[in-house]
């Protein structure tokens, strides 16, 4: 017979702060943020351009994505496949990320090869060839990618949800990579013109993170690669607001689907709203933790789903939130019915314990999340894109620690209006339309795609 030791207490967490960058300005005005992280042998370089997707002309949506995807398909110095060969031979990974807030080019490379890789990275951004055949191929590949996305139930639900929740006049309502009606008509000339008009040093930030002990001075390297970049024709950028759409309740018919993907939510706030810390805590308690109110009942008690969550997704200004999950067809009606009760906090405000657990969770996972070069560089890029200060992570954690249960309940009740939720379901409408209507959504619209 063995004796089990008693459950041990938890010791106080150690001191931790998000690292502050060394800042400098290259001779052409590019802001340089450097994070020195000993032991991080893979360097992350993020070039953040003040180039939000809203910059695309309505009739050319997708042009920003096609431009970015063609950057590493050859440069004026190293044409065709030669460029990618050079970059990959340095062990480098090149990526791009486009959002409603801005554009990033990302380089990951072992520190021992940073010098040459950063030169090539700069070459791709500054002087890509954007050749006809490469652009045209990326148009075809983007169209194929859209077909793949729309064939995937969860992705289709997310595409339909953004269309239902953001102002249809705004860029936010449509896929980041553009939709078939505009992508299909984009020409290589338009891609080259987009690059010429919008890629330049003005408003750009370069972020370098990792262990520079073997690389030489990162500031000098950045100056050598980017300091003489000019573009007198670079157009000024406007960040257009993205507002809400009118409420919608719809099912997208997917005949024979064995599960339905549910998105239930609405328009919401950004990180500058004073309620942001409170809603962060509230949404974790409602649908972020494993034993959140939603997952505890719908997964752990009832076995209806592999997982359900509630998440708030901030934009630079405004944002959205959604309850999301996949449910087997037979239980969708009951799930929606139960959600109305579970999501209502008027009789069941958030508790001290729920708030305390949320705060220790967010505080506890931060050191790990930001332990690597790419983790730090990615967060620093988020700050730049959202217009937040370098100290945001620490100040946000302080603000989370100050949230009371009342704050969480009040913010939640203000932001999650149970009578105004937009619902998107992707599933078999023949089987689901009636149960969804009966679960309190009589205004359900059935959408049949061709």
Partner 1 sequence: MTAALKLDYPIVQRTLDNGLRVIASPDHGVPSVAVNLWYDVGSRHEEPGRTGFAHLFEHVMFQGSAHVGTAQHIALMQAAGAAVNATTWFDRTNYFQTLPTGGLDLALWLEADRMGTLLDALTQENLDNQREVVKEEKRQRYDNVPYGDVMERLVELTFPADHPYGHTTIGSMEDLNAASLEDVHTFFRTHYTPSNAVLTIAGDVTAEAAFARAETYFGHLPNVPAAPDPATAPLPALTGVPRAETTADVPAEAVYLTWRLPARNHPDFDAVDLAFSVLGQGQTARLHRALVRRLEHAEATGANAMGLIGGTSFGIAYARARDEVSPETLEQDLITEIAQLLEEGPTEIELRRAKAQFERHWLHELARIDSRADALGEYATLEGDPSLINSRIAAVNAVDTDRLVTAARTWLAPEARATLIYRKESA
Please list every residue from 66 through 85 that binds partner 1, using CB under 8 A. Answer: 72, 81, 84-85
The smaller minimum CB distance to partner 1, of residues 39 and 185, is found at 39
One symbol per residue from 23 to 52: x for binding partner 1 (CB under 8 A), - otherwise; what is it? ---------------xxxxx----------
Out of 29, 367, 387, 440, the residue judged to bind partner 1 by CB under 8 A = 367
Does position 13 interact with partner 1 (CB under 8 A)? The reply is yes
Long-range CB contact pairs, 60-63, < 8 A, 24+? 60/182, 60/186, 60/190, 60/194, 61/171, 61/174, 61/178, 61/179, 61/182, 61/183, 62/142, 62/177, 62/178, 62/179, 62/182, 62/183, 62/186, 63/178, 63/186, 63/190, 63/191, 63/194
In angstroms, the CA 441 to CA 250 distance is: 9
CB of residue 254 to partner 1, shortest distance in Å: 9
Convert 271-307 to b/e letters by CB count within 10 Å (16 or more is b).
bebebbbbbbbbbbbbbbbeebbbbebbbeeeebbee
Which 83-122 positions form the footprint of partner 1 (CB under 8 A)? 84-85, 88-93, 108-113
Q: Which of 41/247 has CB closer to partner 1?
A: 41
Binding range to partner 1, per CB under 8 A, among 54-62, 133-141, 186-194, 411-419:
133-141
For residue 291, the SS3 value is coil
306, 341, 406, 443: which one binds partner 1 (CB under 8 A): 306
Q: If binding is defined by CB under 8 A, does position 371 make contact with partner 1?
A: yes
The CB-of-387 to partner 1 minimum distance in angstroms stands at 28
Q: Does 152 bind partner 1 (CB under 8 A)?
A: yes
Q: What is the secondary structure of 153-165 as a DSSP string? A: HHHHHHHHHHHHH
Residue 139 beta carbon to partner 1: minimum distance, rounded to whole angstroms? 12
CB of 443 to partner 1, least distance (A): 26
Q: Which residue shows structure tokens 């998000």? A: 18
Please report how the helices 276-287 and 405-415 are oriented relative to each other, as an axis angle in degrees rounded to 10: 90
Residue 303 near partner 1 by CB under 8 A: yes
CB of 112 to partner 1, least distance (A): 5
H helices of 251-329, in order, are 276-287, 293-295
Residue range at the interface with partner 1 (CB under 8 A); choices 353-361, 379-387, 394-402, 406-414: 353-361
Nearest CB to partner 1, comparing residues 135 and 204 = 135
Please say whether the dihedral angle defined by the alpha carbons of residues 274, 280, 286 and 287, taken in this order, is positive or negative: positive
350 binds partner 1 (CB under 8 A): no
Residue 3 in contact with partner 1, rule: CB under 8 A:
yes
Indicate the helix (H) or strand (E) that contains 116. helix 114-126
Residues 243-282 that bind partner 1 (CB under 8 A): 256-259
148 binds partner 1 (CB under 8 A): yes
């Amino acid at each position: 017979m063995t004796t089990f030791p008693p459950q041990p207490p938890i010791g106080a967490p150690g001191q931790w702060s998000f690292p502050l960058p060394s800042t400098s300005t290259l001779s052409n005005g590019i802001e340089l943020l450097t994070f020195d992280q000993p032991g991080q042998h893979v360097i992350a370089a993020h070039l953040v351009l003040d180039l939000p997707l809203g910059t695309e002309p309505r009739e050319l949506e997708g042009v920003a994505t096609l431009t970015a995807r063609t950057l590493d398909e050859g440069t004026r110095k190293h044409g065709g496949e030669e460029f990618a060969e050079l970059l990959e031979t340095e062990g480098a990974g090149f990526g791009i990320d486009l959002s409603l807030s801005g554009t990033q080019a990302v380089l990951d490379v072992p520190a021992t090869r940073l010098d040459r890789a950063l030169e090539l990275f700069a070459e791709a951004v500054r002087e890509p060839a954007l050749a006809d055949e490469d652009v045209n191929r990326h148009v075809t590949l983007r169209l194929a990618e859209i077909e793949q996305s729309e064939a995937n139930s969860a992705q289709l639900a997310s595409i339909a949800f953004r269309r239902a929740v953001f102002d249809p006049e705004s860029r936010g309502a449509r896929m980041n990579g553009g939709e078939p009606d505009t992508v299909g008509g984009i020409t290589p000339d338009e891609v080259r013109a987009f690059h010429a008009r919008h890629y330049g040093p003005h408003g750009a930030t370069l972020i370098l993170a990792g262990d520079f002990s073997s690389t030489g001075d990162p500031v000098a390297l950045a100056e050598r690669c980017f300091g003489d970049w000019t573009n007198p024709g670079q157009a000024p950028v406007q960040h257009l607001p993205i507002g809400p759409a009118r409420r919608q309740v719809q099912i997208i018919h997917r005949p024979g689907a064995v599960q339905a993907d549910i998105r239930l939510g609405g328009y919401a706030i950004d990180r500058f709203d004073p309620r942001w810390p409170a809603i962060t805590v509230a949404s974790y308690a409602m649908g972020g933790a494993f034993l959140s109110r939603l997952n505890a009942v719908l997964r752990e008690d009832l076995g209806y789903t592999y997982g359900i969550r509630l998440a708030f997704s901030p934009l630079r200004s405004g944002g959205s939130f959604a309850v999301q999950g996949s449910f087997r067809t037979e239980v969708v009606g009951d799930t929606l019915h139960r959600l109305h009760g579970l999501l209502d906090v008027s009789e069941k405000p958030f508790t001290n314990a729920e708030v305390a657990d949320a705060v220790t969770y967010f505080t506890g996972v931060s050191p790990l999340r930001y332990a690597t070069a790419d983790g730090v560089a990615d967060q620093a890029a988020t700050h730049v894109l959202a217009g937040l200060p370098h100290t945001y992570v620490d100040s946000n954690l302080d603000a989370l620690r100050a949230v009371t249960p009342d704050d969480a309940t009040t913010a939640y009740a203000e932001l999650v209006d149970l009578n105004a939720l937009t619902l998107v379901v992707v599933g078999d409408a023949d089987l689901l339309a009636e149960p969804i209507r009966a679960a309190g959504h009589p205004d359900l619209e059935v959408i049949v795609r061709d």
